[in-house]
Amino acid sequence: MRLGAVVIAVVLFGATKLPLEHQLDAAHRRLGLRAVEFNLDLREQIGQLGFIAALSGFRAIVADMLFIEAHAAWEQTDWARVLLLFREVTTLQPREVLFWDMAAWHMAWNASTAAVNDRSQPRETLRIKAQREYFALGKDFLERGIRNNPDRPQLYEALARLYRDKYRDHERASEWFAKAAAVPGAMSYDRRFAAYELSYCEGREQQAYERLRALYDEGEKERLPTLLKRLKFLEEQLNIPPDQRIPEVVR
């Protein structure tokens, strides 16, 4: 009975906030953002407590509680529960970049490593299959996070790192570092990383050289060891005339 009374109280309190919630949702749509839709699909995704929270305007509080639960599930290496909780958290708070980033990190880095090293599964092919499934889950979190937060460079960068470190796909990594660099507030290194990754792509050497050389020509602040190393490599690959090459690196 007490639980029922609490639920009713929460819903009634939240009902007074619904007009404001709807106004905010409409504003989000006008800005091209994806607001939470109150429907049966949402009810199935986030469970009874989360659905009540969504209706009552307590999304942020419940999302924080579930985030803490997800951390505890991670410490117990309960990957299925980590996945479920982060799906609930990101559904309740789609504009919180940290939640998408952490969800992807747990899936594509932590769970995937546990899967490929799981000696209770004697077949290596199945361990690798499970690992790649976790990569895909991490990628899905980041792609959906970007759709909900197109104005935030952090998730573009996280997706670039996933392609670089997990898929070893330098071309896609370059593409996403470049997309991150184009978003206001991006880190200055995103442009360099986009060029670095392109320099590893067979058939894209000329384009990578032009990008790296343009960065080099901006001045000393861009002349970092990795940039110099990749430039020297490309000069050799492309047979750049000696008088057009950068000076030898003094060690």
For residue 42, the surrounding DSSP H or E stretch is: helix 40-56
* Cα distance between residue 95 and residue 25, in whole Å: 12
With tokens 């952090």, the residue in question is 154
pLDDT in tens, 235-247: 999 999 999 999 9
pLDDT in tens, 199-208: 999 999 999 9
Computed over every residue of the chain, the mean pLDDT equals 84
For the range 111-117, what are the long-range contacts, defined as Cβ-Cβ under 8 Å and sequence gap of 24 or more?
111/79, 111/82, 111/83, 111/137, 112/138, 112/166, 114/77, 114/79, 115/79
Q: What is the pLDDT of residue 29?
A: 44
pLDDT in tens, 18-58: 454 444 445 444 434 344 444 434 444 445 454 455 445 67
Q: What is the pLDDT of residue 57?
A: 60
With tokens 């005339």, the residue in question is 241
Q: At what angle do helices 153-165 and 124-148 cross, to 10 degrees?
A: 160
Q: Domain locations in the chain? A: 1-138, 151-251
Average pLDDT of span 102-116: 98
pLDDT in tens, 135-156: 999 999 999 999 999 999 999 9
- DSSP E strands in 80-217: the ranges are none
Between 21 and 225, the higher pLDDT residue: 225
